[in-house]
């Protein structure tokens, strides 16, 4: 079977995209494991299916390196918006995309008829522990916990998926391949967790490394950047209703945390198209 695909990335968070408007992909979790391998497959942080929707302009389903499905990805959804706009499937700059975490609104910036930047209304940040979920009582803000035999002050936020944010002096000194899995699979997080390690660079300016559940360390995580900006406001490091720059290994995202919602703005880049035999 031959499948056409498009490789795209947002801030280096790269996925393999399949247009499923007129075709069906069976066992997408297995396909993600097969194709995401950077040595034996196409290579990426997972695969994304672009599907028709009865509720929005398009629907997104995304699968991680290990085959698990995620509810939301802020970087992938910008690329989905770019794909449907650039390919003439949806010709409007304000559109809606359905995800497992609800319908998200996007506002597109174009150049020469192609989308180069997208702003996403990521929805309200969820702090209630049972909705994140995390097995702690009350809002978890700078809460001391022991993970892997070491104490960390964690702030927990859901942006459609669970996040545990830790502030530190130097993110480059974090042994993320060791610590990341300890966070991801800790019993505190019944649905596993994405772990963000944040360095405060300056006023409304953060530097971030992320360990994503099901994928490991990635170049960027849109929901993680949003959760980190929210955590930074809650911990007094950044301002509410301000543009917060979040610098990731793959690029920079701009996040604004308001009472009503969280906005995230970043690039979306088409790398190449191809055909794969499975």
Beta-carbon contacts of residue 48 (< 8 Å; ≥ 6 apart):
15, 16, 17, 18, 60, 61, 62, 63, 73, 76, 79, 80
CA pseudo-torsion sign 262, 265, 266, 272: positive
- Residue 65 contacts residue 33 (beta carbons within 8 Å): yes
**pLDDT tens digits, residue range 108-161?**
999 999 999 999 999 999 999 999 999 999 999 999 999 999 999 999 999 999
Categorize the per-residue pLDDT at 1 as very low, low, confident or very high, splitting at 50, 70 and 90.
Answer: confident
- Residues 216-269: pLDDT tens digits? 999 999 999 999 999 999 999 999 999 999 999 999 999 999 999 999 999 999
- Domains belonging to the chain, first-starting first, are 2-121+266-277 (3.10.310.10), 129-260 (3.10.310.10)
Give the whole-number percent of the chain exceeding pLDDT 70.
Answer: 100
pLDDT digits (tens, 9 = 90+) for 70-92: 999 999 999 999 999 999 999 99
As annotated, the active-site residues are: 73, 221
User: What separation, in Å, do the N-terminal and C-terminal C-alpha atoms of the chain show?
Assistant: 5
pTM: 0.94
The CA distance from 237 to 239, in Å, is 7
């Amino acid at each position: 079977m031959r499948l056409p695909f498009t490789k795209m990335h947002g801030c280096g968070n790269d996925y393999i995209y399949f247009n499923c408007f007129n075709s069906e992909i069976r066992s997408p979790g297995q396909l993600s494991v097969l194709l995401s391998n950077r040595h034996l497959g196409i290579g990426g942080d997972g695969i994304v299916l672009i599907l028709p929707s009865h509720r929005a302009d398009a629907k997104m389903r995304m699968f991680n390196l290990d085959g698990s499905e995620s509810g939301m990805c802020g970087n992938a959804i910008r690329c989905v918006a770019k794909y449907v706009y650039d390919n003439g499937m949806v010709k409007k700059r304000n559109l809606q995309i359905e995800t497992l975490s609800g319908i998200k609104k996007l506002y597109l910036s174009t150049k020469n008829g192609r989308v180069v930047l997208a702003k996403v209304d990521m929805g309200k940040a969820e702090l209630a522990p049972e909705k994140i979920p995390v097995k702690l009582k009350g809002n978890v803000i700078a809460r001391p916990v022991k993970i892997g035999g070491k104490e960390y002050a964690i702030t927990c936020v859901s942006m459609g998926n669970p996040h545990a944010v830790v502030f530190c002096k130097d993110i480059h000194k974090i042994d993320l391949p060791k610590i990341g899995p300890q966070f991801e699979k800790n019993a505190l997080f019944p649905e596993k967790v994405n772990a963000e390690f944040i360095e405060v660079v300056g006023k409304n300016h953060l530097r971030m490394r992320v360990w994503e559940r099901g994928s490991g360390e990635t170049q960027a995580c849109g929901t993680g950047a949003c959760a980190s900006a929210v955590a930074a406001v809650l911990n007094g490091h950044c301002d509410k209703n301000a543009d917060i720059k979040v610098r990731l290994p793959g690029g920079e995202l701009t996040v604004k945390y308001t009472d009503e919602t969280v906005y995230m703005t970043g690039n979306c880049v088409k790398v190449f198209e191809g055909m794969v035999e499975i």
